A = this chain, B = another copy of it.
């Protein structure tokens, strides 16, 4: 990536463009159906325009109320499944008080609905009729739901080793599931080959997904009475929450709503610590790392596509990257569920990170910390039951 783009906040791109290539710096707009730059580089969101309270659409009860912050999209193309403002819940956890953002109280049960709702609305605006994707988890379910609502054909490539239970939701919406033998890379390769004839609606690659996730940042600040929390803790695999929140918080700083960025803390699972390793080593780019089983399947990512942007965003916010073991994840899961907060193990990674940061003094008892919980426990009821009963993990 050229030096010119090493500015905090990511490549600005040419004025008026919504996306910018992280490799060559070329800008592009929403009118182009592209999931990567012509040079092959990954697309990022261009620098956010300043956002202030006056830009909110107050008549809109969902995250579309922040639509003026996002790349331009005619409201008539919005695909809706009943999105609400997700609740905040202040809770006394063993490591201290935290404000939990229950960002799984969405139609398909995970925060990915923010990103996929926006991504699929964009696809509809471009009259895309058929898409492919590779995901066996929450993103696949969300893509299947929103494409079903939009009348877009959806094919999802999945590892042949996946349990049918994990795929039941996407299949129920009517998506075609294609099992692929081999590892995760083989599945992605199969999707890429299929992308020769259909649009590759990769949530990890299309920056419109990030734009949707960014609505979380605006929503949090509005819910907190237009104040920034001191800290925000998120689970991190590909890092969409880090990038989306950073983008939104920068827009709010630029708009004069916030005096500075909240500190962004990315928490990984010890089995997939690529970002944590790069962070610990003071690197500017993230190398592939990790593998094997983990309780936190949702962030089992060997190498994030936008590693450089992730490191930059976390540094700019004076945040941290940490990784937690499955034992810490399980302990955090138990603490949440036994208080009535029913989340997927991947969500508990953020709570485990909060415990670590509260214990080591990074987060002071007097500071406000938001812990983002990303997936509903209803998606993993049997697993959670076994884990808490000591039959697994």
A residues lining the B interface (CB < 8 Å): 61-62, 80-89, 100, 102, 105-109, 145-146, 148-149, 164-165, 168-169, 171-174, 337-342, 376-379, 381-382, 384-385, 388-389
Contacts and interface: CB of A to CB of B under 8 A. Distances in A.
B385 A338 contact: no
Contact of A165 (B100, B339, B382): B382
A263 to B, nearest CB: 24
B341 A107 contact: yes
Contact of A382 (B82, B85, B168, B376): B168
B81 A340 contact: yes
Contacts of A382: 164-165, 168
A282 B123 CA distance: 54
A340 B389 contact: no
A136 to B, nearest CB: 14
Contact of A102 (B85, B107, B169, B384): B107
A340 B169 contact: no
A172 B82 contact: no
B62 A82 contact: no
Contact of A338 (B82, B173, B377): B173
A360 B169 CA distance: 33
B340 A145 contact: yes
B87 A62 contact: yes
Nearest to A102: B82
A381 B339 contact: no
A165 B379 CA distance: 12
B83 A388 contact: no
Contacts of A106: 105
Contact of A381 (B100, B168, B342): B168
Given A109-B376, A172-B337, A379-B378, A80 B84 contact: no
22 contacts: A62-B87, A84-B87, A105-B105, A107-B340, A107-B341, A109-B376, A109-B378, A145-B340, A148-B338, A149-B340, A164-B385, A165-B382, A168-B381, A168-B382, A169-B342, A171-B389, A172-B337, A172-B377, A172-B385, A173-B338, A378-B378, A378-B379
A282 to B, nearest CB: 38
Contact of A378 (B85, B146, B169, B389): B169
Nearest to A165: B382
Give the interface centre of A84, A86, A340 by most chain B CB atoms within 10 Å: A340
Nearest to A146: B340
A262 to B, nearest CB: 21
A265 B168 CA distance: 32
Contact of A388 (B80, B172, B381): B172
Contacts of A80: 89
A63 B200 CA distance: 41
